Structure 1
Amino acid sequence: MTNSLLRFAPRGPTLLIVGVLAGLAFPALAEAIRPAMAASIFVIVLGTLLRVNAADFIRTLRQPRFSALLPAMVMLVCPVLVGAAAHLTGVGPELALAMVLAVCAPPSGGTAAVARMLGLDATIPLAVTLLSMALAPLSVPLLAAWFAGIAFDPVELALRLFVLTAGAAGVALLLRQCASATLERHAGLVDGLVLAALLIFATSTMAGVRAQIEAEPMAALVCVIIAFACNLALQGLGAALLPGTLAERLGIGLILGNRNVGLVWSALGASTSPTMALFFAATQFPIYMTPRLIAFLIRWATPEKAVS
């Protein structure tokens, strides 16, 4: 088991696509593992925390561009830009609302783990993700109310975020104190477990999506196209935002583009319309497929780096 995880970990970007396609091809499989979605998110965050150097993390937090500028861009500026674009293109009120709410979400919990798979520094994605999650209980309800008059329960949202981040951080701190040497020896196994959790999450997000696509194929196609356009536009904005190497800028783009849409989706509950649910599901495709594109760009720009 351990050797298998270590062997497949470097091929993470490709395997994430396999997870999404497996969930589409086998709806029963996606439904069966959907209850494990919350646990998989916890493992993703925990594994990433275990693999990030504490000194590097603190150093990152001391840089205003990462501790203030990027979280503000992620949680405030991007939703406003997407809302303006939706209004100008006239996509329809429900779809426009879904677009804004999707971008109100903090970065995906697996962003730092994906960055590691791509050979990028995972410290910045992790720092920005955690800071964005801390901001989400305030920014998401305010933006949702401002854009469409939707009332979120900020306490419920804050509780979900607290359980996810503080719980994983507490376990990671305990493991680092009690078994730091063991963690260092088995770092590759931690990466493999994170990959397994990402695959479970990717597959489970496709639960019910195939039925939605079959029921409304044209609407589903429009949602997928818009989801890719929105994700790639935000990744491009992130890549252009700060100076650095191509790999570093692509890592910033990953933070802006890939969002934890499931968090907002679950917070909406019964308020989610069929159109909004279809778009939220469509956002999962670029989240799990663009890392393969980023791997190709990194390999093209730096041939000495082989990202599988």
Structure 2
Amino acid sequence: MLLVISLCAGLMITPFAHLGYDLLPFSAFLLTLGSFLTAGLAPSEASIRPLLMGVVLAWVGLVLPFAAAILLSFAPLDPALRAGVLLSLLAPPVGSAAAIAGMLGLRPRLALLVSIALTLLTPISIPSFATVLGLGIAFDMGGLAIRLFSIIGAAGLVAFLAMRFRRHVIPVLPDQSAATGIAVVGLMIVGLATSQGIRAQWTSNALRFDVMLAAAIVFNFGLCVLAAVTFARLGWQTAGTIGLVSGNRNVTLVWAAASFGLPSLAEGYVAACVIPVLALPLIIKLCLRLPSFSRFIPQNR
């Protein structure tokens, strides 16, 4: 609920949006720190086999982007909009993937490993795939690599120290929910920051942005369901986690990698992609309360 409220607050109160934009680098640190701590404090889960890890990385990082590229080649899309859609799928999973997995009762450690691995590959993968797919967008990946390694390294160090000396921080970090709360604060900042771009896109062409928002929601939730069904034999928790990292991508990272120089249509789609990411936990929680929906969800195993 807080994530949705933060987005609405940024849309209605301009100073909040400006504040969130200024705090974006700090939000990236909070998202990563919250995910590290959530995974560290999560209940024990099934071991993550190298084969499973390799399959998930290939599915999220290779299969989905290239499958989308093939499908979109037959669609009469504006090249800039096509670039925006493909860039959203080239992005790694959101930095808060482990925290969101914790909120939803999935596998935080699997979500964390997939998210961190694909994020660390971003300085190489995004420009390489963008060139192969002919997106025609330049990236400042050198500067981004330095920022990424700094954020992940700093968050990892703080998380290690917090776990190592946990008895001293129990008042502020009593359990996994508190760790997830750190990531929620980071996501609230993202909601405030991206509301500025959302307002600009909606003001310039409301109908066009509404269409892009609908497409972003369909892609996000559609990929979540597709992955969950594809890997259903692995159990609800594992399949749901793979679905989570398949549909929820760190599009703001791609936006920053392009030095905020994306074409207007691509930028509009990237901004629209943030909305379903922020709304996903609330939507799933509400759906799970419906008897007609929850009875189709198998027990965790």
Spell out, residue by residue over 1:155-188, the C-alpha distance to the aligned partner (whole angstroms, 9 max, x if none).
2232232122222112211222233563496224
* Alignment partner of 1:137 is 2:127: no
Q: 1:17 — aligned with what?
A: 4
* Contact preservation (8 Å) 1:83, 1:99: no
2:28, 2:260 → 1: CA distance? 22
Q: TM-score, normalised by structure 2?
A: 0.87
1:279 to 264, 269, 280: 269
One-letter amino acid of the structure 2 residue matched with residue 175 of structure 1: A
Find the aligned partners of 2:260 and 2:185 in 1 and give their Cα distance: 30
Note if contact 1:231-1:258 (Cα within 8 Å) is conserved in structure 2. yes
Partner of 1:224: 213
Which residue number corresponds to residue 301 of structure 1? 294
**1:59-89 CA-partner distances (Å, limit 9, x unpaired):** 7453321x21111211122111222222222
Structure 2: which 5+ runs fail to align? Answer: none
Aligned with residue 163 of structure 2, among 157, 176, 182: 176
* Alignment check: 8 A CA contact 2:223 2:247 kept: yes
Number of the residue aligned with 1:86: 72
Q: How many angstroms apart in 2 are the aligned matches of 1:240 and 1:303?
A: 13
Report the residue type matching 1:88 in the other structure: F
> What is the deviation of 1:290?
2.4
Tell me, in whole angstroms, the C-alpha distance in 1 between the residues paired with 2:127 and 2:15.
34
Following the alignment from structure 2 to structure 1, what is the Cα–Cα distance between the partners of residues 46 and 236?
22
- Matched residue of 1:90: which SS? coil
Matched, 1:204 2:204: no
Aligned to 1:117: 103
Name 1:3's counterpart in structure 2: none
Match of 1:256 in 2: 246
- Distance in 1, Cα, partners of 2:121 & 2:259: 21
1:33 maps to which residue?
Answer: 20
Residue 8 of structure 1 corresponds to: none
Aligned mates of 2:44, 2:105 — CA distance in 1: 17
8 Å contact 2:35–2:99 — kept in the other structure?
A: yes
User: Which among 137, 142, 156 is matched to residue 143 of structure 2?
Assistant: 156
Q: In structure 1, how many angstroms separate the alpha carbons of the residues matched to 2:161 and 2:283?
A: 36
CA distance, structure 1, for counterparts of residue 101 and residue 145 of structure 2? 26
Structure-2 separation of matches of 1:121 and 1:201: 23
What is the 5 A alignment of 1:45-124? Answer: 45-53=32-40, 60-65=47-52, 67-124=53-110
Amino acid at match of 1:228: I
Instruction: Measure, in 1, the Cα distance between the counterparts of 2:95 and 2:112.
Output: 8
Question: In structure 2, what is the Cα distance between the partners aligned to 1:57 and 1:139?
Answer: 32
In the alignment, structure 1 segments of 5+ residues that lack a partner are 1-13
| TM-score normalised by structure 1 residue count | 0.85
Give the 3 Å change call, closer, same or farther, for CA 150–212 of structure 1 in structure 2.
closer
Q: Is the 8 A contact 2:187 2:278 kept in 1?
A: no
- For 1:227 and 1:282, how far apart are their aligned partners in 2? 6
* 1:233 lines up with 2:233 in the alignment: no
Please give the root-mean-square deviation of Cα atoms over the aligned residues, in Å: 2.7
Please give the per-residue CA displacement for 1:91-148, whole angstroms capped at 9, x wherever unaligned.
Answer: 2111001111111110001121112122222111111101111222221111111112
Note if contact 2:34-2:180 (Cα within 8 Å) is conserved in structure 1. Answer: yes
Structure 1: distance between partners of 2:47 and 2:72 = 34
2:133 aligned counterpart, secondary structure: helix
Tell me if the contact between 1:17 and 1:289 (Cα under 8 Å) persists in the aligned partners: yes
Q: CA deviation at 1:264?
A: 0.8
Is the contact made by 1:30 and 1:205 (CA closer than 8 Å) also made in structure 2?
yes
1:167 is matched with 154
Cα deviation 1:209-240 (Å, max 9, x = unaligned): 21320111121112111111211221122212
Report the alpha carbon displacement of residue 53 of structure 1 after superposing the two structures with TM.
Answer: 3.3
**How far apart in 2 are the matches of 1:17 and 1:87?**
34
The structure in which a higher percent of residues are helix is 1
